[in-house]
Chain A
């Protein structure tokens, strides 16, 4: 399974990618919005884990852009700014929602659910 991780906090997202790799996922990461859109367009990912609030644009916006290039991708939103609005947006978009900090097992569970594994 190929997963794209997008978060502006490098120390977080790189470690998370490492941990997912250790669990058998093909995880790739980026800290920029452009990087995320570019990567999603050039490489084929099954799922993206997006930070809801990136400095450049919102996770929802990134999702929209990616969907234009890879319409079959699944999404999981993560945020430390968990709020009702995030929750609503996440669920409306048919995605999953998870608040930092979380256990790796929780994320894995959500990934498996999203990909119907």
Chain B
């Protein structure tokens, strides 16, 4: 279970843990729900037809193979029946020929009978003996290997049948010789109304040979049984000879039939059976369903594997595609949200910038009035000795002038923030620009025990940008870093890397006091300052932001309270030609 959870954690979509929220600026889209619906719908649409197709094919193939097996069994049974029927018919016809051709006295002659038997054995085969029986059932002439002269057959079924019907093919039975054999008997009527019966014994080995010559598999069986269900030729699996067969005996039909049944162990079997004409025999051909359906089982297994394989591939593709698509939607939404946030931020900055610039303009005129009036006052005081000596008075005037100057500085910064200066783009060595800026801070760093580490690869490309803007950007950020670090020492890292999209990222990292996550959201807004009474105007980072944007770059901040801050400025290697579109803070 843990492994499954671990696996899911690896493959789950990006948005899996994102829950929809009605709060402003939050995710409104239930990605997980859409993803699940997408997977469910695609699975249903893909797998249902596949399952239907598989079931349909499954049944069709099963029925086709079953029908094929029935046909084969029926064909083999029919062929075998014809062979056996022909065998019996041939022997019966031979006897009919003898009756028609040979005079009675020949048949009554012992030597003639032996001669006849030999000819039959040579010509047709399968005859064991031959005998003549009078109308009382006594065998009056006999040629054969047993001593059956004088035996009475009047009670024998075949004798009675032959008397009645003129001919008889008997069941297999033991008789006087105590060996399984069968009889063919023919009635020889006399003109005086009396009759004789020509009786021959057939070797059932011939029948056994016919049946054993069938090409049957190991578990299949072919044998004869009589109408009462007693086995007439040896069976491999369904009982001994002359014993009752352990299978259902089908009803009479002139045609070959195939039925499905189960053997005594419950295994399904296929029985082909055929009643053999003019004989008491039923041919039974038994095949184990398991064996004859082997082809079906192989096909079934292949179909199941195919289905499982296809299903797994389909599910993987559906999962992958749904995840990929929804991930892209999620990414696009995230990008859109961020863009909107930035746009909102930029718009806010622009509006605030314009407002600030407007305020600055309006304040400058009254400030000039105050400045000139206070200045004139100071000039006049300087002319008169008694006033010039009045330090308190002079301090008051200086305070007014200083305040005016400070206000003037603020309004100038505001105008600087809002104003658009045409940048001069030229090739610049980033390392040189940074070194120039750092040269302002070397002494302070030494005094405050701040180590400065600059890691700029030698192969960093020349950047086409505005020198003044870059200096201003780095100066502001390095100033901020210095102010964030304590006087007991610190570390400033400046790292530059070339990015994939033809930009260079410059990170300025300090280990100072850091910025809270709340403050990070407002840090680029004008007038936002954390320096409080230390005199920050709250315009430094706003101006930096404006400059970076004007250079078509980007600036971001990562910070943690008490651990330090990293400002990352991303600048295009070539800013040329893009300035016309830049309209920030105008």
Instruction: Spell out A's residues near B (CB within 8 Å).
Output: 9, 11-12, 15-16, 18-19, 22, 78-84, 99-104
> Hey, which chain A residues are within 8 Å of B369, CB to CB?
9, 11-12, 15
Q: Which residues of A contact B549 (CB under 8 A)?
A: none
User: What string of 1s and 0s marks CB contacts (under 8 Å) between B399-430 and chain A?
Assistant: 00000110110001001000111000000000
Please state if B372 and A80 are interface contacts (CB–CB under 8 Å): no
On whether the beta carbons of A99 and B375 are closer than 8 Å, the reply is no
In this complex, what residue of A is CB-closest to B374? A15
Residues of A within 8 A of B415 (CB): 82-83, 99
A103 to B412, CA, bound (A): 14
Chain B positions near chain A (C-beta within 8 angstroms): 361-365, 367-373, 375-376, 379, 383, 404-405, 407-408, 412, 415, 419-421
Q: DSSP class of A's interface residues: helix, strand, loop or mixed?
A: mixed
Least Cβ distance of B296 to chain A in Å? 90
Q: B289 → chain A, closest Cβ, in Å?
A: 98
A18 to B379, CA, bound (A): 9
Contact B372 A15 (CB under 8 A): yes
In the complex the two chains form, what is the Cα distance from A102 to B411 in whole Å? 12
Name the prevailing secondary structure of the B interface residues. Answer: helix
Enumerate chain B residues within 8 angstroms of A11, measured Cβ to Cβ. 369, 372-373
Q: Are A80 and B419 in contact (CB under 8 A)?
A: no
In the A-B complex, list the 10 residue pairs whose CB atoms are closest, starting with the nearest.
Answer: A80-B364, A100-B368, A15-B372, A101-B371, A80-B365, A101-B367, A101-B368, A15-B376, A100-B364, A81-B361
Which one, A22, A81, A103, contacts B364 given CB within 8 A?
A81
A83 near B376 with CB under 8 A, answer no
Q: Which residues of A contact B412 (CB under 8 A)?
A: 82, 99
Other A-B contacts than A19-B372, A100-B367, A101-B370, 18 sampled, CB-CB below 8 A, are A11-B372, A15-B373, A18-B376, A18-B379, A19-B379, A78-B368, A80-B363, A80-B364, A80-B365, A82-B364, A82-B412, A83-B419, A84-B421, A99-B412, A99-B415, A100-B408, A102-B368, A103-B405
Residues of the A chain whose Cβ atoms lie less than 8 Å from the Cβ of B370: 101
A112 CB, min distance to chain B CBs, angstroms? 18
- Residues in A with CB closer than 8 Å to B371 are 100-102
Do A19 and B375 contact each other (CB < 8 Å), given the known contacts A9-B369, A101-B370? Answer: yes
A100-B364 Cα distance, complex, nearest whole Å: 6
B373 and A80: CB pair below 8 A? no
